[in-house]
Amino acid sequence: MTAPNIKIENLHVSIEGKQIIKGLDLEINGGEIHAVMGPNGTGKSTLASALMGHPKYEITEGTVTFDGEDLLEMEVDERAKAGLFLAMQYPSEISGVTNADFLRSSINARREEGKEISLMKFIRKMDSKMELLDMDESFSQRYLNEGFSGGEKKRNEILQLLMLEPKIAILDEIDSGLDIDALKVVSKGVNDMRNPDFGCLIITHYQRLLNYITPDKVHVMMQGRIVKSGGPELAQRLEEEGYDWIKDELGIKDEVVQTEQA
Ligand SMILES: Nc1ncnc2c1ncn2[C@@H]1O[C@H](COP(=O)(O)OP(=O)(O)OP(=O)(O)O)[C@@H](O)[C@H]1O
Ligand SMILES: [Mg+2]
């Protein structure tokens, strides 16, 4: 195990009594970028929310450790403090809280009392990260995601990533709705984070993103489990051939989890 490390074993998650994740195994170490791909509704966002500790998602079986500690025992804020980060598929808008205030509070929440980031340091860091992401400086004083376009919200999630410098980040469809320039900018942001103290799980539908962020491993998720893993070439084949060949190979008839309920 190389720190940071997140290790998911035999994870089962249900929501409102419906089993969505059914025995998922995945391990990410520092320095690694993993991509998870899979058809709509197979449980990718459910996995992200469950790992972050969303109260709606019930873990019915399995274990998750974060740097050797039991992640599932931690509250949401403890998970964030420990260094877990989630960029959401649909980021929320929070009126009345500016982007800058939100980021500064978030950074300080992860620090001990008396060791808060100085205002000067914070401003310098925020300026440089916003420049890296080609963001207009007016975004620092706008309310969090309020009125942001789809692409601006995604860019803002990456700003949070760069400011908070988590140990492990889960990026849920960070590329959806991005124009080609924004895609490059967002990729630049993620690549800027690449280092041995950072591990990343990228959930995406498109191989295109992986042209810019080369993953170490690509996993295919179907029916609430990882059914196949490989290198970047796996994403390439999915782009060209879709998911049918995997279903044929594994004898999967339906990729949609909910059909089991019927
Ligand atoms: N709050 C909820 N209530 C009821 N069902 C839910 C809830 N959240 C998720 N589900 C169901 O769980 C299944 C998995 O959803 P999830 O959002 O994890 O899929 P996904 O793999 O992220 O799909 P996409 O690629 O479309 O984002 C879906 O059938 C969805 O309808
Ligand atoms: Mg999703």
At 89 the pLDDT is 87
Closest C-alpha to ligand 1, atom 24: 40
Q: Hey, what are 121's tokens? A: 């340091």
At 39 the pLDDT is 94
Query: Which residues face 65 on adjacent strands?
Result: 7, 70
At 261 the pLDDT is 41
Smallest-distance ligand from the CA of 37:
1
Does the beta carbon of 41 lie inside 6 Å of ligand 1?
Answer: yes
Q: Hey, what are 252's tokens? A: 């999967």
State the pTM of this model. 0.93
Number of domains in the chain: 1
Would you say 145 and 96 are in contact if contact means Cβ atoms under 8 Å apart?
A: no
At 252 the pLDDT is 82
Q: What is the pLDDT along the chain (262 residues), one digit of tens a residue?
A: 668 999 999 999 999 999 999 999 999 999 999 999 999 999 999 999 999 999 999 999 999 999 999 999 999 999 999 999 999 989 999 999 999 999 999 999 989 889 999 999 999 999 999 999 999 999 999 999 999 999 999 999 999 999 999 999 999 999 998 999 999 999 999 999 999 999 999 999 999 999 999 999 999 999 999 999 999 999 999 999 999 999 999 888 765 544 444 3
Query: Which residues face 221 on adjacent strands?
Result: 226
Phi, psi angles (nearest 5°) of residue 36:
-115, 125
Work out the number of other CB atoms within 10 angstroms of the CB of residue 141: 10
Give the structural domain span for 27. Answer: 5-261
Distance CA 37, CA 238 (A): 9
DSSP string, the chain: --SSEEEEEEEEEEETTEEEEEEEEEEEETT-EEEEE--TTSSHHHHHHHHHT-TTEEEEEEEEEETTEEGGGS-HHHHHHHTEEEE-SSPPPEEEEEHHHHHHHHHHHTS-TT-PPPHHHHHHHHHHHHHHTT--GGGGTSEETTT--HHHHHHHHHHHHHHH--SEEEEESTTTT--HHHHHHHHHHHHHH-STT-EEEEE-S-HHHHHHS--SEEEEEETTEEEEEE-HHHHHHHHHH-SHHHHHHHT-----GGGGG-
For residue 49, report the distance from its CA to the centre of ligand 2, in Å.
10
At 254 the pLDDT is 66
CATH number, domain of 228, equals: 3.40.50.300
Closest C-alpha to ligand 1, atom 10: 15
Distance CA 223, CA 210 (A): 23
